[in-house]
Chains A and B, each alone.
Chain A
Amino acid sequence: MQQSALVIGGGISGIQASLDLANMGFRVYLVERSPSIGGRMAQLDKTFPTMDCSICILAPKMIECSRHPNVTLLTYSEVKEVKGSVGNFAVKILKKPRYVDEKKCTGCGICAQNCPIEVPNEFDVGLSMRKAIYMPFPQAVPRVMTIDKENCVECGLCERVCMAKAVDREQQPQEVELNIGAIIVATGFDMFDPSEIPAYGYKQYKNVITALELERLLSASGPTGGRLMRLSDGMIPKRIAFVQCVGSRDRREWIRNAYCSSICCKYATKEAVIVKEHVPGAQVTIFYIDLRIFGRGFQEFVNRAKAEYGISFVRSCPGEIIEDPITKDLIVWFEDMTTRTPRSLTFDLVVLCPAIKPREGAGELAKVLGIDVDDYGFFKPLDAVSRPVDTPVSGIFICGVCSGTRTGDVPDSITQASATAARVAEVLAG
């Protein structure tokens, strides 16, 4: 039995699982596909319902991971092959070239200051620009730069200005082979692209945005420094609508996401409250089908959102959003359930809450690992009741949003992550 574990995915679930295992004395390899660990939680402004600054409660755990003697971080890396069985998996990991020497780079950022190429910044969901040599966000772990070769023009400026001589434009992909006792899968989620529902006008109308975009617009470290504004004209929106179930609970032929995304009602309520704090006097309306706000402290939080913040909850699924071509205001058409007649309301900004989806490539990873996915592509537990974090492959466990029946909020993800750590400890103990 190898007393080691591979954790796939460096979001909050993967981080928690890694730390628990490392603190139990196991050797942990944490593999993350992007240049930094942190995952979705790093992108959020605040977390519900405690309203903690998200990165502030996450960053200490990220740093603990990078400093823990039992944790090896393998960022910008992907799992390519898994063979063997519990206690002795032979794993091949592809370390993609960063074109920057991780050991030499100090993360000073002078290269990025000099890089002439600007591309949309993924971390800010494209609302700001980054350079072709970049660090995804200031608290990134590890603190090293990465060259995005797709956009690099090979001008060599970064190499010339780097005082640590860390830029290595000839760097090659590296294959890392490991012998591992057990594996935890925590690959998280992607968001549904709302432009697949043309009636909502996402990407057509500038003032129709997604909840994740709003999250970045509200964040003090975001592209606007926390100033909420319309993307069409920079005006401060006074009438804001949230639309739930965009691509969730939707069985239309080309969408086929019948499940509920489980987090949108909660984060929309949270974002509505933050919007109210940013723009006092704003009128905020949440359109919903069922208000699914289970979980500790949340009914109470919604009660407060209604009573103290005056947020209105309208039970209706909007049919169409139309832009006023002159003002760029948005007219939302919906069925008024009290009178059962079609009605419209005008808003300055409409926020869509898109479905959560399995990460791109989750299907391929499932094949590599030999585990099952369900109808929607989420990983399937061995038994939804009695073995909720196990998979059919002994020694491989799932936690967080990537697993089908479980919810996606932070405490549930952390609990599941600790549970998978327990499973690993159990199977490796004998």
Chain B
Amino acid sequence: MRIGVFICHCGVNIGGVVNVPEVTEYAKTLPYVVHAEHNLYTCSEAGLAAINEAIKKHDLNRIVVAACTPRTHEPLFRLACKGAGLNPYIFEMANIREHCSWVHSYDPKGATEKAKDIIRMAVFRAALLEPQVEPEVEVKGSSLVIGAGVAGMTAALTLANQGFKVYLIEKEAELGGMTRKLFKIYPTLADSTEVVNTLIEVVRLHPNIEILTSTTLKEVSGYVGNFNVILTVPEGERKISVGTIIVASGSSIYIPPKGLYQYGIYNRVITQVELDKMLRDDTIGRPERVIMIQCVGARKGEIRHYDLAALPKSPTAELLRRILKARKEEGWPYCSRICCMNSIKNAILIKERSPKTDVVILFGDLRVYKEYEDFYRKARDLEVRFIRYIEEVPAEIMKVNEEKLNVMVYDALAGCEVTLTADWVVLSTPLIPTKDMVMLARMLKIPIGTDGFLMEAHLKMRPVDASVDGIFLAGTVTGPKDVPESIISGKAAAARAATLMMRKKVSAEAITAVVDRDLCIGCGLCEEICPYGAHRIEEGKSQVIEILCRGCGSCAAECPRRAISMRHYGDHQVMAQLKALLRPALTGAS
């Protein structure tokens, strides 16, 4: 056993607190450690080169890097080990930044001692690590796209153009999704029907795309490269198997509850989508004044949307039930991103038809980003008026007669309350998760964020990847987006899916459950609790389907016969770590 330890300064992140040279000297005294060094940044090209060199020079066969978190950096160091001819699973990471220098920045001495403890634990575990083989699977060159709005259709088309077979499913009878409900699209004022129809036409004619309308997802099993999907089609059921899945099932529009700004009580209070329809049908006429109210049901309150009774029994649903019960105010907490531009667009459309109509937009903040600012200015040049209201004093709506409403609002700039008489009051409401989002998330095993939308694998760095390998997210399933943004994310999701399908093969983590067949009594407890369906009882013994196993360890903890152990996280490896921490004297460490 020849262990090498590499200790990272991480600039001053670690080095500014922990005495790294002292810790390095200490590491050299640990059993089996034949080499220890410290680097300014072990993750830099120089650091990785140093690992490579030391492996060769000192004939190392176990590597410990004491640095930051394995979540971001383990793949990199494993790759470095592999590059030097070692099995990547003989690598162990000790986190002396998040777990040590950052949280103990005011106690350098204590932090130095703790860093020694953490490294000692890692060394003892490293000594027991074994090489592992990552299972490799084939990736089918076909994809399932869920939802045929602009994002889904764009994704489908992009993959089809690259030669992949695409199944495009849509729960409605028609393609087009949310965009079909709009009239014009900002900032070019393109006709939405035209944009959608052009896309539909190309999608329909493409030989690589099979369109399945009035179709929903019934069951998804399998794993990256080999998903087995059961669809509910009008004729009954249909089974398909695909390599990747793109979720583009979109979102819904928040419908205000009856009474909110008198919606549902006075028929002259409408939502922006209803206005879109009136503009398209040209039924709005020449009103004297139209007032739009921004952030109705957005940027306030908490989520109160899911039909609690309809939720299936599952831990996620239980959690949601608890969260939802605690929430009071009506509305959604986030900013819906697109409403400001959308309202300005409709204001411009009204002004262009009926210049004499006074259009007033009541807003909190106008979030017209980047060059949409020009669009905002265009509206101002057309004399659309903007009144800033404050959240604490929402506008009040009173009926004058069947055709007129009075809107009383506190004008934050003028510092007084004003009353305006309007023909129409238009409420700008946010995009919200669809009601079946929870079901979908559960079926695909994708977590849901506190805003109710699907979670990305990483909010910053992997915006269109789901945390489940082989599944990608496009359009508004991850939160409000406008048409161009949905198109972009559709393309992006297709690119990410293509990187998998082009490679034809992927390898999975080797950390999986192993069953000792001599000890297994076939009780089936593991099969019952496994969230990934990776255990199956066959001939009275549990079998692990390795590619499904995510290495969570639930089965190993539950097994009454202790017949299940985890690769790379065996009891002996974990116990060695604990022993190194609690009884350093017994382990021979000084």
Contact = CB atoms under 8 A, between A and B. Distances in A.
B16 A419 contact: no
B44 A139 contact: yes
B488 A411 contact: no
Contact of B367 (A290, A297, A404): A290
Interface in B214-234: none
A243 interface: no
B87 interface: no
A96 interface: no
A63 B76 contact: yes
Interface string A67-110: 10000000000000000000000000000000000000011100
Interface string B2-16: 000000001111001
A60 B43 contact: yes
Contact of B488 (A139, A260, A290, A389): A389
Given A139-B44, A422-B498, A258 B374 contact: yes
Contacts, number: 232
A297 B487 CA distance: 21
B495 A20 contact: yes
B496 A59 contact: no
A107 B45 contact: yes
Interface in A137-184: 138-143
Contacts of A47: 460
Contact of B365 (A60, A66, A292): A292
B373 A296 contact: no
Contacts of B374: 258-259
Interface residues of B, number: 79
Contacts of B333: 299-300, 303
Nearest to B412: A337
Contact of B46 (A61, A143, A225, A261): A143
Contacts of A292: 365-369
B334 A299 contact: yes
B492 A416 contact: yes
Contacts of B487: 385-386, 388
Nearest to B185: A385
Interface string B201-224: 000000000000000000000000
Contacts of B199: 386
- Chain B CB within 10 Å — which of A57, A108, A376, A415 has the most? A415
B489 A415 contact: yes
B73 interface: yes
B371 A374 contact: yes
Contacts of B73: 56, 60
Contact of A25 (B40, B75, B502): B502
- Chain B CB within 10 Å — which of A295, A374, A410 has the most? A295
Given A25-B502, A404-B371, A421-B495, A63 B187 contact: no
A49 to B, nearest CB: 8
Interface in A394-430: 404-408, 410-412, 414-423, 425-426, 429-430
Given A221-B13, A389-B488, A422-B498, A411 B463 contact: yes
Nearest to A12: B461
Contacts of A405: 187, 370-372, 484
A426 B11 contact: no
Interface in B67-89: 68, 72-73, 75-76, 79
Contacts of A113: none
A422 B474 CA distance: 13
B415 interface: yes
B171 interface: no
Given A56-B68, A60-B43, A386-B195, A418 B368 contact: no
Interface string B494-506: 1110110011000
Contacts of A408: 370
B132 interface: no
Interface stretch (B109-117, B155-163, B421-429, B518-526): B155-163
Given A261-B370, A296-B478, A225 B12 contact: yes
A122 interface: no
Given A294-B335, A422-B158, A63 B415 contact: no
Contacts of A337: 412-413
Contacts of B41: 59, 138-139
Contacts of B449: 296-297
Interface string A270-291: 0000000000000000000011
Contacts of A291: 365, 367
Contacts of A383: 188, 190
Contacts of B495: 20, 24, 418-419, 421-422, 425
Interface string B475-496: 0001100011101110111111
23 contacts: A50-B460, A67-B79, A106-B46, A138-B40, A220-B11, A226-B12, A260-B373, A293-B335, A294-B335, A296-B479, A299-B335, A385-B187, A385-B483, A386-B190, A386-B195, A405-B370, A405-B372, A405-B484, A414-B460, A414-B461, A418-B491, A422-B158, A426-B162
Closest CB pairs A-B (n = 5)? A418-B492, A419-B491, A422-B495, A143-B45, A221-B11
Given A59-B43, A290-B367, 6 more contacts: A138-B41, A226-B12, A296-B449, A385-B190, A404-B370, A423-B158
